[in-house]
């Protein structure tokens, strides 16, 4: 087992190096650079900039250096925890992302719990009551959630919350609590705003989970061991939870690999629409304005989390399901 | 209006008599009033009393006498990006020399200034004027900028700003005394004062007492090195540190003193910036209140697409940015519920959107056509501006060519009307005259080499407005036998395509400054900038010497006139240059304008006073709220939120 883990970790190094290079190349691929998009943005509202000022910035930011030099400076900086510098904010990347990380994790955690709370009971109900009215009704509801565009739902909820509850539009707290120390009122304000993103992001996730849980459970429910257990008089709910549900959970465990990065990145588009102070909007605006170190470091961070997440879910699967062997001829 | 003027005049004459003797300031003390917001700090000794804070000769703003003003309160406004903190410098509009409401230049931070032959500028500072931290504002601040920043090899490795160089010659800078400075050139420099008054002003001063701690020449080397090591900068060097602290325009460094009405108190990154009143601000009103009236301005950063929705929910007390005419009905709906009112100001570009035939396009056939004035006139005549106005702008805009709007003192009706009437018959006969008589089976005219006349119009694809206009133009041009296709692309790609000559035609906003006066720079009419999409390569030639110079006589004439304007020493000569340039512009139709003076919704809290009912909304020269003097806006405390009306 230890040998296996070591081997997987060693494999991550070349993977991450390749990813970092690809990220850097792709970010640099579109024509122009940050300063050009900066000039274009200023021009679009009539603001013009002194060419000297731009030349100064270009030198200050090291944009006149060759591509490979820029790449190595960035990549080697990351090894010592220096994720580079955001041109847009004029601050180190860690400072820009740092503050927002907590709120992002908060929203994502709530969303995931919300999804589970909704999806598990419905999935179990649908599977055990296959083709009943309840099954059809709840499935329809789930699909409605999946089919409604997230941004539309977000806008509708924003409007409703504002008109009927007086919640301020967008953001994660009322204006006066931004930058204020944490207090009871601030927490209440956050909770008041939090439900909208949680519901919006959550509804799109539940349908998929309901369907997968239902399908997996259905596979198990007709297995002989279930019949045997039932014949022996195990109460129905205990039976369901103890045997088929455990079997059906594999898909859920392997999802953890994808879960880790999505906790950090949040749902970008919804976050942009709702103007949430999370990391998603930063990533999108960084890509638009070609703020390359901010975008690059962020993507790199997501890549690292994905790679680790996959490892964790592989190990968890092996632990939870004895039928799964770690391949490659290694001894456990 | 006239009475107000007279009053101003009287006051400015009368007050210096009281003020000039240094001790005489006390005679005015009786009526000088301390702002309640600052009283606690004054009482516990953190701040000196108002008599010692304002300059000995403050700028005295006139308000009518019967008006009683409430000082105090907080204003909320919304912005789309955290670097929009710079807009407080635009709105605040404290300039050495600034435009007043009638777009005349007047001394603002400066007490007075004198100009000799358009080339020698003598600036007089206000005695006793202080930075927002209480340090005196003197000629040392100017000297520091010129000698230790602008001329420093490392801090400004590319030399001083372009405005400070005339015909290759840098400004001669002299400190005459503690409060007097002189900048001079051998040739006139008409841009100098305009740059000082700009929405993004040319800063020829720095808070020297603050920045010196980051300057190698003045700072203790050890301390400086320590600061460099701990600083959050990309390159660890003292000049990068200096540059990162020196953000007068961006105003995101709360430690840096300012002369603006409000100073930022929030360190980035943040979603919310609090700007607090500058206790040393140099303007007072004639009742003895120090400006600004508003204690705090809170700028909340939100996604720019949410700004209309948030404004409609009453989350902004003063909003124009990120609002568009098509938000009007939505905003109007929330008026009563959220206690604000929507006013309609007007934009002042020469044209809201213009079509730019690229005279520098690489395709030789098209280039020849675009350079032929008859072709451009035909294109312009074939645009149905009335229809565009009715369909997209509810008929509320002003149609016509891309030129000055009637608010400009230089305006003549024929500039806007010539070659801008919808006349398909004349357009078709002009095209026939050019020999473009062959048509294909669709009725599209053929170029001499047999290709159909199909023009791809590049758009930056940012607003549906541009594509809507193109859709309508498409219809009427088709009747003239020309088909257009619109091609949206990313803004940078769009620009590069036009610059390189790959684009045949592009659509973009019209002439930037539609309310120019003779003293404003006419460079927007001549090929002086690569950003001018009708002749990017000629503009580039003017800027850098690369590419070829213009070969059309009328365009060469524009450049000559531009030069004449630059060398003029008086308004009369400038006026002559402007007139001929405008004449050429309207006669030769280099760009095809559509409609101008499009309405701009401005949302204003019902309690907010002194915001004009009608105004012009533009970057230059009005600096948005800048020339309307946001420091004079005040919140009526007597009125309750319910049932307030204005």
- State yes or no: pLDDT of B20 exceeds 80: no
Contact of B5 with chain A, judged by CB distance below 8 Å, is answered with: no
* Inter-chain touch A170–B302, beta carbons under 8 Å: yes
Q: Supply the DSSP string of B97-154, one letter for each residue.
A: EEE-TTS-EEESSEEEEEEETTTEEEEEEPTT-B-TTS-B--HHHHHIIIIIIIT-TT
- Whether residue B454 contacts residue B372, with contact meaning beta carbons closer than 8 Å, is answered with no
Pull the structure tokens for residue B341. 């009112």
Locate the chain A residue with the closest alpha carbon to B267: A179
pLDDT value of position B4 = 46
Pull the structure tokens for residue A245. 């549900």
Contacts of B485 (CB under 8 A, 6+ apart): B454, B455, B456, B457
Alpha-carbon Rg of chain A, whole angstroms? 24
Pull the structure tokens for residue B269. 């990154």
Q: Of A202-206, B48-52, B566-570, B588-592, which one has max mean pLDDT? A: B588-592
Backbone angles phi, psi at B340, to 5 degrees: -135, 170
* Inter-chain touch A179–B266, beta carbons under 8 Å: yes
Q: Which residues, listed in sequence order, are joined to residue B343 by a DSSP beta bridge?
A: B602
Nearest-CB residue to B243 (from A60, A88, A91)? A60
- Residues B38-91 have pLDDT tens digits of 999 999 989 999 989 999 999 988 765 556 788 889 999 999 888 889 999 999
What is the distance of C-alpha B79 from the center of its chain?
17
- State yes or no: pLDDT of B266 exceeds 50: yes
- State yes or no: pLDDT of B13 exceeds 70: no
Report the interhelical angle of A292-320 vs A67-79 (nearest 10°).
Answer: 50
Residue B414 neighbours by CB distance under 10 Å:
14
Residue numbers in A near B619 (CB within 8 A): 45-47
Nearest-CB residue to B272 (from A51, A179, A274)? A179
**B620 to chain A nearest CA, in Å?**
7
Cis peptide before B292 (omega within 30 of 0): yes
* Inter-chain touch B271–A171, beta carbons under 8 Å: yes
Q: Of A112-116, B504-508, B642-646, which one has max mean pLDDT? A: B504-508
DSSP element (H, E) containing B319: strand B318-319
Contact of B543 with chain A, judged by CB distance below 8 Å, is answered with: yes
CA-to-CA dists, residue A316 to A249, B10, B17, B266, B590, angstroms: 11, 85, 86, 46, 69
Tell me the pLDDT band of B459, cut-offs 50, 70 and 90. very high
pLDDT value of position A49 = 74
pLDDT, mean over chain B = 89
Contact of B305 with chain A, judged by CB distance below 8 Å, is answered with: yes
Task: Tell me, letter by letter, the H, E, C secondary structure of B227-257.
Answer: HHHHCCCCCCCHHHHHHHHCCCCCCCCCCCC
* Inter-chain touch B200–A85, beta carbons under 8 Å: no
- Whether residue A326 contacts residue A320, with contact meaning beta carbons closer than 8 Å, is answered with no
Residue B487 neighbours by CB distance under 10 Å:
14
pLDDT value of position B147 = 94
* Inter-chain touch A178–B512, beta carbons under 8 Å: no
**Exposure of B452 by Cβ count < 10 A (0-12 exposed, 13-18 middle, 19+ buried)?**
middle
**B29 to chain A nearest CA, in Å?**
37
DSSP letter assigned to residue B455:
E
Contact of B357 with chain A, judged by CB distance below 8 Å, is answered with: no
Alpha-carbon distance of A141 to B448, in angstroms, equals 63
Residue numbers in B near A160 (CB within 8 A): none
Q: Which residues, listed in sequence order, are joined to residue B600 by a DSSP beta bridge?
A: B345
Q: Can you give the pLDDT of all 332 residues of chain A as single tens digits?
A: 788 888 888 888 999 999 999 999 988 887 778 888 888 777 776 677 777 778 878 877 778 888 888 898 888 888 888 888 888 888 888 888 877 888 888 888 888 888 888 888 998 899 888 889 989 998 888 888 888 888 888 888 888 888 888 888 778 888 788 888 888 888 888 888 888 888 888 887 788 888 888 998 998 888 898 899 989 988 988 888 888 888 888 888 887 777 777 777 667 778 888 888 888 888 888 888 888 888 998 888 888 888 888 888 888 888 877 777 665 554 44
Contacts of B394 (CB under 8 A, 6+ apart): B325
Residue numbers in A near B269 (CB within 8 A): 89, 91, 95-96, 99
Beta pairing, strands B483-488 & B454-459? parallel
CA-to-CA dists, residue B640 to A166, B312, B644, angstroms: 19, 20, 7
- State yes or no: pLDDT of B11 exceeds 50: no
- Residues B468-480 have pLDDT tens digits of 999 999 999 999 9
- Residues B95-115 have pLDDT tens digits of 999 999 888 899 999 999 999
Residue numbers in A near B160 (CB within 8 A): 52
* Inter-chain touch B234–A158, beta carbons under 8 Å: no
Instruction: Tell me which of A150 and B212 has the higher pLDDT.
Output: B212
Percent of chain B with pLDDT over 90: 70
Between positions 31 and 70 of B, the ones with CB within 8 A of A are none
Residue numbers in A near B302 (CB within 8 A): 170-171, 275
Nearest-CB residue to B303 (from A62, A89, A170)? A170
Nearest-CB residue to A179 (from B247, B270, B531)? B270
Tokens 């806007």 correspond to B416
pLDDT value of position B55 = 94
**A174 to chain B nearest CA, in Å?**
10
- Residues B325-383 have pLDDT tens digits of 989 999 999 999 899 999 999 999 999 999 999 999 999 999 999 999 999 999 999 99
pLDDT value of position B15 = 37
pLDDT value of position B65 = 54
* Inter-chain touch B158–A281, beta carbons under 8 Å: no
Alpha-carbon distance of B483 to B498, in angstroms, equals 20
Contact of B231 with chain A, judged by CB distance below 8 Å, is answered with: no
pLDDT value of position B105 = 92
pLDDT value of position A154 = 86
pLDDT value of position B201 = 93
Contact of B240 with chain A, judged by CB distance below 8 Å, is answered with: yes
Tell me the pLDDT band of B9, cut-offs 50, 70 and 90. very low
**B155 to chain A nearest CA, in Å?**
9
Contacts of B346 (CB under 8 A, 6+ apart): B597, B598, B599, B600, B614, B615, B616, B617
* Inter-chain touch B161–A92, beta carbons under 8 Å: no
Mean pLDDT lowest among A33-37, A153-157, B179-183, B578-582 = A33-37
Q: Supply the DSSP string of B23-86, one letter for each residue.
A: GGGGGGTTT-B--TTTHHHHHTTSS--HHHHS-SS-EEE---TT-------EEEEEESSGGGGG
Alpha-carbon distance of B206 to B137, in angstroms, equals 9
Q: How many CB pairs under 8 A join A and B?
A: 129
Residue closest to A231 by CA, chosen among A242, A239, A243: A239
Alpha-carbon distance of A27 to B70, in angstroms, equals 53
* Inter-chain touch B309–A40, beta carbons under 8 Å: no
Locate the chain B residue with the closest alpha carbon to A165: B313
Contact of B229 with chain A, judged by CB distance below 8 Å, is answered with: no
Residue B318 neighbours by CB distance under 10 Å:
23
Question: Span B142-155, mean pLDDT?
Answer: 91
pLDDT value of position B24 = 32
Contact of B304 with chain A, judged by CB distance below 8 Å, is answered with: no
Pull the structure tokens for residue B165. 């160089």
């Amino acid at each position: 087992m230890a040998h296996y883990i070591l081997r997987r970790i060693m494999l991550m190094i070349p993977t991450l190096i390749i990813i970092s290079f690809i990220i850097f190349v792709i970010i640099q691929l579109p024509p122009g650079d940050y300063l050009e998009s900066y000039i274009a943005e200023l021009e679009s509202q009539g603001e013009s900039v002194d060419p000297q000022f731009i030349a100064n910035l270009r030198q200050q930011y090291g944009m006149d250096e060759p591509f490979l030099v820029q790449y190595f400076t960035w990549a080697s900086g990351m090894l010592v925890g220096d994720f580079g510098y955001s041109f847009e904010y004029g601050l180190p990347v860690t400072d820009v992302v740092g503050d927002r990380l907590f709120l992002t994790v908060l929203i994502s955690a709530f969303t995931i719990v919300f999804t589970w709370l909704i999806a598990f009971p419905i999935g179990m109900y649908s599977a055990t009551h296959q083709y009943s009215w309840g099954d059809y009704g709840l499935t329809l509801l789930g699909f409605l959630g999946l089919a409604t565009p997230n941004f539309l739902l977000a806008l509708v909820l924003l409007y409703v919350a504002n008109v009927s509850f007086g919640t301020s539009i967008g953001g994660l707290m009322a204006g006066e609590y931004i930058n204020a120390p944490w207090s009871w009122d601030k927490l209440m304000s956050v909770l008041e705003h939090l439900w909208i993103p949680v519901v919006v992001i959550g509804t799109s996730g539940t349908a998929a989970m309901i369907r997968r849980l239902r399908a997996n459970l259905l596979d198990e429910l007709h297995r002989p061991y279930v019949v045997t257990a039932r014949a022996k008089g195990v109460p129905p709910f205990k039976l369901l939870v103890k045997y088929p549900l455990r079997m059906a959970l594999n898909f859920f465990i392997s999802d953890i690999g994808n879960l880790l990065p999505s906790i950090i990145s949040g749902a970008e588009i919804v976050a942009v629409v709702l103007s949430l102070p999370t990391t998603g909007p930063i990533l999108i605006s960084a890509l638009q304005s070609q703020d390359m170190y901010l975008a690059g470091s962020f993507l790199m961070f997501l890549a690292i989390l994905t790679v680790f997440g996959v490892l964790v879910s592989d190990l968890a699967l092996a632990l939870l399901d004895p039928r799964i062997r770690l391949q490659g001829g290694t001894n456990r | 209006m006239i009475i107000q003027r007279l009053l101003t005049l009287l006051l400015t004459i009368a007050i210096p008599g009281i003020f000039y003797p240094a001790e005489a300031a006390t005679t005015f003390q009786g009526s000088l009033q301390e702002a309640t917001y600052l009283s606690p700090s004054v009482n516990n000794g953190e701040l000196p009393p108002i008599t010692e804070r304002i300059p000995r000769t403050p700028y005295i703003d006139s308000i009518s006498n019967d008006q009683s003003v409430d000082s105090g309160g907080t204003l909320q406004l919304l912005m789309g990006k955290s670097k929009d903190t710079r807009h407080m410098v635009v709105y605040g509009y404290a300039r050495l020399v600034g435009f007043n409401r009638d777009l005349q230049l007047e001394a603002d931070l400066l007490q007075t200034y004198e100009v000799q032959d358009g080339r020698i500028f003598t600036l007089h500072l206000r005695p006793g004027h202080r930075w927002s931290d209480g340090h005196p504002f003197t000629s040392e601040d100017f000297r520091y900028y010129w000698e230790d920043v602008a001329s420093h090899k490392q801090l400004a490795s590319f030399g001083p700003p372009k405005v400070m160089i005339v015909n290759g010659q840098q400004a001669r800078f002299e400190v005459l005394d503690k409060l007097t400075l002189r900048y001079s050139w051998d040739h006139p420099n008409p841009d100098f004062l305009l740059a000082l008054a700009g929405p993004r002003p040319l800063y020829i001063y720095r808070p020297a007492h603050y920045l010196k701690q980051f300057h190698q020449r003045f700072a203790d080397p050890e301390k400086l090195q320590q600061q460099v090591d701990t600083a959050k900068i990309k390159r660890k060097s003292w000049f990068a540190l200096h540059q990162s602290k020196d953000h007068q325009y961006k105003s995101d460094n709360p430690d840096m003193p300012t002369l603006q009405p409000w100073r930022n108190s929030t360190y980035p990154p943040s979603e919310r910036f609090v700007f607090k009143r500058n206790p040393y601000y140099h303007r007072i009103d004639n009742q003895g209140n120090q400006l600004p009236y508003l204690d705090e301005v809170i700028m909340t950063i939100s996604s720019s697409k949410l700004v209309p929705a948030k404004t409609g929910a009453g989350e902004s007390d003063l909003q124009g940015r990120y609002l568009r005419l098509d938000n009007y009905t939505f905003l109007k709906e929330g008026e009563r519920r959220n206690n604000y009112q929507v006013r309609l100001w007007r934009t002042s570009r020469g044209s809201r959107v213009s079509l730019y035939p690229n005279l520098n396009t690489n395709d030789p056939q098209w280039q020849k056509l675009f350079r032929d004035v008859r072709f451009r006139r035909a294109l312009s005549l074939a645009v149905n501006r009335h229809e565009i106005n009715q369909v997209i702008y509810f008929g509320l805009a002003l149609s016509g060519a891309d030129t000055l709007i009637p608010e400009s003192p230089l305006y003549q009706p024929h500039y806007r009307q010539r070659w801008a009437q919808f006349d398909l018959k004349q357009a078709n006969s002009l095209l026939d005259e050019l020999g473009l008589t062959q048509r294909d089976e669709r009725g599209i005219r053929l170029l001499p080499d047999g290709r159909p006349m199909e023009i791809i119009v590049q758009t930056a694809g940012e607003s549906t407005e541009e594509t809507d206009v193109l859709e309508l133009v498409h219809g009427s041009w088709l009747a003239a036998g020309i088909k257009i296709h619109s091609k949206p692309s990313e803004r940078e790609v769009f620009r590069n395509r036009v610059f390189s000559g790959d684009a045949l035609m592009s659509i973009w906003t019209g002439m930037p400054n539609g309310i120019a006066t003779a003293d404003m720079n006419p460079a927007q009419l001549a090929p002086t900038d690569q950003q001018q999409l009708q002749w990017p390569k000629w503009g580039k030639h003017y800027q850098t010497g690369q590419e070829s110079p213009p070969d059309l006589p009328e365009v060469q004439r524009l450049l000559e006139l531009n030069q004449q304007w630059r060398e003029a020493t008086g308004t009369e000569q400038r006026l002559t240059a402007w007139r001929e340039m405008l004449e050429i512009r309207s006669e030769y139709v280099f760009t095809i304008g559509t409609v101008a003076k499009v309405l701009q919704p401005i949302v204003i809290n019902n309690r907010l006073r002194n915001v004009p009912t009608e105004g012009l909304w533009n970057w230059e020269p009005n600096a948005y709220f800048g020339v309307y003097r946001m420091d004079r806006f005040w919140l009526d405390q007597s009125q309750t939120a319910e049932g307030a009306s204005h």
